[in-house]
Amino acid sequence: MLNIKMLKPYYVKEDKRFIRVVLAYQYFSLFIDNELYQFVPMESREIIIDRQRKRVHNVFDIFVFQRGKNIVYVSVADLLQLPDFLQHLHSIVAPYYEKEEVELTKPEENETNEVILELEKNNLRRLIDQAIDSEDRDTFRVLTTTWNRMYS
């Protein structure tokens, strides 16, 4: 039976398409039949996650774990069956998904801010026109001072 004792990335590398969780000695260990095995970067040493599909890309890769002279080979597909592994992996890569989502909303946010500024500008124009129509000099001065401060 497999249980995760520790799963920490040595570092996380990201590009436009993938998030790569790079593993190293002493950062990844398993309990296999109640005995502690340490990760050894002999074959595969990273977990590759596709950003768009939010799925592990290298499910057929093999990780090597060692306890003394005993060596155990575990596929990424087998690890993905463990709820603990999925939980650890999600906590590692979640900030990279959020970062991507924030970047995607920035153009929309800028567009919204531009619309709001234009509406505020139009509203101030209408208030100045109303002050002129009602011959309210004090309000006219306050509004035109505000206009000059904001848009000149």
Residue found by looking up tokens 């208030």 in the block: 127
| Of residues 51, 25, 37, the one with CA closest to residue 79 | 37
Using alpha carbons only, how large is the chain's radius of gyration in Å? Answer: 29
Question: What sign does the CA torsion over 140, 143, 149, 152 have?
Answer: negative
Coil/strand/helix, residue 51: coil
Listed as own residue / partner, the contacts of 19-28 with beta carbons closer than 8 Å and 24 or more positions apart are: 19/48, 19/49, 19/51, 19/93, 19/96, 20/46, 20/47, 20/48, 20/49, 21/46, 21/47, 21/48, 21/49, 21/89, 21/92, 21/93, 22/46, 23/47, 23/63, 28/63
In the prediction, which pLDDT does 47 show?
94
In the prediction, which pLDDT does 150 show?
82
pLDDT, tens digit, 9 for 90 and up, residues 27-83: 899 999 999 999 998 889 999 999 888 899 999 999 999 999 999 999 999 999 988
In the prediction, which pLDDT does 99 show?
62
Please give the model's pTM, rounded to 2 decimal places: 0.62
In the prediction, which pLDDT does 23 show?
92
In the prediction, which pLDDT does 70 show?
93
